[in-house]
Structure 1
Amino acid sequence: MSTFVLIPGACHGAWYFDDLVTALRDHGHRAYAYTLTGVAERAHLAHGGVNLDTHIADVCAALATIPDADVILVGHSYGGMVITAVADRMPERVDAMVYLDALVPRDGESCWQLVNDEQRQWYLDVDDTGYGVPALPFFDDRASAHPLPSLLQRITLTGDLSTVRRRDYAYALRWPGESPLRRSYERVRDDPAWIVHELDGAHDLMRDNPDDLVRILLDAAAH
């Protein structure tokens, strides 16, 4: 039995992983998805001070409540920023990592720096609060604005991921234009320390490639 901790991307909540969590539990694993502060059903906690550090603290606190388990961290999109930092801060708790069309940052980089110009333009189109990045029209109806500071703040990493047993990257091939995750994908594509999967789906891999994701996660859990 493995323990999965799943972190959604910008504007989305834990519900984004409902089907994936159910599938993992049906295979006998523990699986927990978390909504980050200020997003989705926790949007009432949004304010100008919610940043990347807030979201890292969210997940570190969650891991502290899961006793005696080496976890497999799973991050979608912006969630890659969060799981990278959590693994850096709690390396003794992380067994494997799976990036689902997600950002792979290095020390000192921000989400803003890693994406493309089209994505940056979306970030700047903030709502009336001045710090909320609105959910895009095609997002799930439960999606909310996302705290802009979390997308701008540079990540602080003190170590590396070499202690993690396994790292997987699932790359979505069917973006309608240039993928804002392409830089992250190219960063790991030829790295022998990573297992890279190219999937014939759009960014919402949970919708387009559910069976592939279950297979990838179950493989990541296998020792």
Structure 2
Amino acid sequence: MTQVVLIHGTWLGGWAWERLVPALTDTGHDVHAPDLPGLAGRASEAGLDTGLDTHIRSITAYLDEHDLHEAILVGHSYGGLVAQGAAAASERVAGVVYLDAFLAAEGESAFDLLPWLANAFQPVDDAHPWLVTPLDPAGLGVTDPTDAAWLTAHMTPMPLATHRDPAPAPDATPAHYVYCEALPLMEGMLATADARGYSVTRIPTAHMPMVTHPDLLAATLATVITRLEASS
């Protein structure tokens, strides 16, 4: 049984995977979906210095606390930077799946990779300029009103430092990239995936397949995880 840790992206939490987890569990995997500090159930932990390194340390600590071995990390969007850092920092990681995620060179930030984000991000209020209010789910490709309402009801502000902080260098952990081609938000990451020698799987969804197409995503991840296990 493979231990899979799902790492959510900006404004989200472990809740974002709730439609995916049962389907992925049914494929025979032990699935974990923790909240990152400062978000969702851990929103009260948000602070001025809550950044990328905070989240990397949180995932490595989670691996230790739950005694996970040969784990596969699945990092979605911003969560890809967290997965990249955790894979380099922990010997408990056997592979990484980057799900429509950022791929950074050492020292690059999310803002470096998608410069328009710096202008799109707006503070919650004047008293909290370090907290970013969630974007409209439609901008992430979620057009179904029920799905959009569910996301809007659950999303929490994101600590700004997470997207300003430089990423650590990637290591040689086996990895695979899943590209959501219906919304070319992360198209610029494909060249990096190719340069690193990552295999790429394209799926016909927008940026939030765990919400819009959980069964398709579960089947895709099950196949990718099998490939990573064979290469590790």
**Residue pair 2:6, 2:33 contacting (<8 A) in 1 also:** yes
Shift of 1:60: 0.7
What is the match of residue 83 of structure 2? 83
Q: CA deviation at 1:192?
A: 7.3
Aligned residue for 1:96, secondary structure, equals strand
Name segments (4+ residues, structure 1) moved above 4 Å. Answer: none
Aligned equivalents of 1:24, 1:201: Cα separation in 2:
18
Structure 2 counterpart of 1:216, one-letter code: T
Inter-CA distance 113–192: structure 2 relative to 1 (3 Å threshold)? closer
TM-score by length of 1: 0.88
1:174 paired with 2:182, answer yes
2:189 is aligned, of 172, 178, 184, to: 184
Q: Decide whether the 8 Å contact of 1:100 with 1:205 is kept in 2.
A: no
* 1:111-166 C-alpha deviation (Å, 9 max, x unpaired): 1101142x22122x112101111012326111010000111011223xx432x2x3
Query: Which is worse superposed, 142-151 or 22-31?
Result: 22-31
Distance, in Å, in 2 between the alignment partners of 1:169 and 1:32 is 20
1:132 corresponds to: 131
Residue equivalent to 1:156: 168
Quick check: 1:8–1:14 contact (8 Å CA) kept in 2?
yes
Alignment partners' CA distance in 2, 1:41 and 1:68? 22
Q: Note if 1:113 corresponds to 2:119.
A: no
Q: CA deviation at 1:214?
A: 1.4
Aligned-pair distance for 1:210? 2.2
Q: Where does residue 29 of structure 1 map in the other structure?
A: 29
> Per-residue deviation at 1:19?
2.1
Once the 2 structures are TM-superposed, how far is the Cα of residue 81 of structure 1 from its aligned partner? 0.5
Aligned residue pairs total 212
Provide the TM-score with structure 2 as the length reference: 0.85
For the 8 Å contact 1:199–1:209, the answer to whether it is kept is no
Secondary structure in structure 2 of the residue aligned to 1:196:
strand
The aligned counterpart of 1:197 is 201
Distance in 2 (alpha carbons) for counterparts of 1:122 and 1:40: 21
Identity score, percent: 32
Q: Quick check: which one's helix share is greater?
A: 2
* Structure 2: gaps spanning 5 or more residues: 138-147
Paired residue type of 1:168: H
Q: CA RMSD in A?
A: 1.7
CA shift, 1:41, in A, is 2.2
1:122 is aligned, of 103, 120, 123, to: 120
1-structure distance, mates of 2:131, 2:9: 15
Following the alignment from structure 2 to structure 1, what is the Cα–Cα distance between the partners of residues 75 and 210? 12
Q: Which residue identity does 1:169 align to in structure 2?
A: Y
What's the secondary structure of 1:80's corresponding residue? Answer: helix
The code of the aligned residue for 2:157 comes to A
